[in-house]
Amino acid sequence: MRTSEKPLIELVGISKEYRVGEISTVALKEVNFTVRSGDLVAIMGPSGSGKTTLLNMLGLLDRPTKGKIIFEGRDVSKLSDRELADLRNRKLGFVFQTFNLISRLTVFENVEMPLIPRGLPRSVRAEMVKEAILKVGGEIEWLRKKPNQLSGGQQQRVAIARAIVGNPPIILADEPTGNLDRASARIVVETFLNLNKEGRSIVIVTHDPEVANCTEKIYVIRDGSIIGEYKANPGESLISRMS
């Protein structure tokens, strides 16, 4: 991890409340959280603790009920939905437990999707897609296939390629190994570690302590509040256990 002191994202006193009729649910309570350049961190907590809501705030996918989100020194609260979408497209890559690949599209078309709004020539997009798929340990032959022709681990690497194809500085991953066997999970985690070595900031939400211990710092969230911050233990990581 090559961390600088310059924050990329700062959550300052973030609270999030969801209301359905007369019922109110508080998902986050005055959370402070910072992602800096080169960070490699995990967020852990029980189901319903606020992990995904926290990740959604970091990813500019939801607006807080209270508090500020500062992105590269800029308060994003006054940005329009369109401006937020453009910021997400250029600065953030997302990886999900269920891959979120579009089954009717080829792997090439799935990976290419974040580049379409940028108006790049197709030849440039094609080179960027090839570079991304190779960077995650994939094969050029995958690009002609449909997602369901690949294994789960291969599909997740395609999803990571889609996340990085536009060269965003931050990758946010929500339970990225949750649907994978241990061997495939290890490959996915190693992919994240290699991307971090290149300087990307990576935040992983996970239930798996062996995955969390592959990062450098673990945040524990419960009932919408961050209750602990711990240095990861490499000896208890997925990589160490399978090496």
Q: What is the pLDDT of residues 3-58, one digit of tens each?
A: 456 799 999 999 999 988 888 899 999 999 999 999 999 999 998 999 999 999 99
Q: Exposure string (b/e) for 74-97, b if CB count within 10 Å is 16 or more?
A: eebeebeeeebeebbbebbbbbbb
Radius of gyration of the chain (CA): 18
Name the H helices within the chain. Answer: 51-58, 81-91, 107-112, 122-135, 152-164, 182-197, 209-212, 238-241
pLDDT at 27: 95
159-186 residue pLDDT tens: 999 999 999 999 999 999 999 999 999 9
Specify whether the CB–CB gap between 184 and 107 falls below 8 A.
Answer: no
Domain 37-60+80-241 fold is Rossmann fold (3.40.50)
